[in-house]
């Protein structure tokens, strides 16, 4: 069974770095995605205190104060090619 990304309501509640070398993204529905930072070298380069300075925009986008990159929820769940479909 295939489920379209658009049919699943997903909103980011919280971003954290509690596990070394990983980013945790908690959704409003309680799901948590834990992803190795090695896939996001620009975030990995930031010291922990600078990583924590991020903002959630439009429920599915993460901006880091000390980074020029824009990250979408789909980047962290392996659907980065589909974020424009929202």
CB within 8 A of 4, min separation 6: which ones?
none
Could you read off the pLDDT of 36-73 as tens digits, one per residue?
A: 999 999 999 999 999 999 999 999 999 999 999 999 99
pTM: 0.80
CA angle 42, 80, 5 (to 5 degrees): 140
One CATH from 1.10.3720.10, 3.30.2020.40, 3.50.30.10, 3.40.630.10 for 5-78: 3.30.2020.40
DSSP 75: H
CA atoms within 13 A on the CB side of 26: 8
Could you read off the pLDDT of 3-28 as tens digits, one per residue?
A: 445 566 789 999 999 999 999 999 99
């Amino acid at each position: 069974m295939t489920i379209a990304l658009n049919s699943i309501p997903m909103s980011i509640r919280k971003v954290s770095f509690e596990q070394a070398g990983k980013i945790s993204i908690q959704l409003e529905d309680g799901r948590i995605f834990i992803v190795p930072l090695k896939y996001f070298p620009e975030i990995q380069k930031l010291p922990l205190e600078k990583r924590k300075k991020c903002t959630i925009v439009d429920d599915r986008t993460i901006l880091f104060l000390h980074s020029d990159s824009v990250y979408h929820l789909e980047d962290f769940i392996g659907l980065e090619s589909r974020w424009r479909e929202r």
